[in-house]
Amino acid sequence: MTTTQKIESLRHTISVLVENKAGVLARIAGLFSARGYNIDALSVGTTEDPQVSRMTIVVRGDERVLEQVCKQLNKLIDVIKVMDYVGTPHLERDLVLIKVAADKNTRSELIQICDIFRAKIVDVAADSVIIEMTGDNEKIEAMIKMLRPFGIKEVCRTGIVAMARGAKGISIQELERV
């Protein structure tokens, strides 16, 4: 757990509610590049309100950098709300598809690993399988490490999505009331 905490102090997960308009993604990506912030992961999708998109951004930096990131995001006209999850109990999930070399000798071992990680084999070919798994960053890293000796052919991740546990969060209904 200690190593995790160390990483967490540098790595922040931010949720951003934005107007679902053309160019918003470019605006946010542009902000990060213009100000020299590095994006580790970025995912975008619509919310319960089709006019609003939710972005989850994973960014590294110290407290000062993160404060600026959040303030600069808030400054963008199309950004409705920003939330940094640091210090807030929350869930993070990433979905990954991994294509691994597999033949009849290794397939059963792969199935066992998938069981342990609660992953699914979603495609089987003569010399490979595709494994689908969700989890937080660590779990996925652990899975990839386990699979590496088998020969990973492709990895594709969606980027993290995050949500605060319980009452806290950034719902649109809450915004409408303001």
Q: Which residues bind other proteins (CB under 8 A)?
A: 18-19, 22-23, 26-27, 30, 34, 64, 67-68, 71-72, 74-75, 77-80, 175-176
Least distance CB 24 / other proteins (angstroms): 10
Nearer to other proteins, 26 or 126 (CB): 26
Smallest distance, other proteins to C-beta of residue 34, A: 5
Nearer residue to other proteins within complex by CB, 152 or 170: 170
Interatomic CA distance for residues 88 and 101, integer angstroms: 39
Cβ closest to other proteins, residue 42 vs residue 147: 42
| Residue among 119, 118, 123 at smallest CA distance from 102 | 123
Contacts of 90 (CB under 8 A, 6+ apart): 13, 162, 163, 164, 165
Least distance to other proteins, CB of residue 12, Å:
17
Cα angle for residues 110, 150, 144 (degrees, 5° grid): 80
Query: What is the C-alpha separation between 101 and 152, in angstroms, rounded?
Result: 6
Nearer to other proteins, 39 or 144 (CB): 39
Q: How far is the CB of 71 from other proteins (least distance, A)?
A: 4
CA 117 to CA 120: how far, in whole Å? 9
Contact (CB, 8 A) for 22 and 12:
no
| Residue 176 C-beta: closest distance to other proteins, Å | 8
Residue among 49 and 132 whose Cβ is closer to other proteins? 49
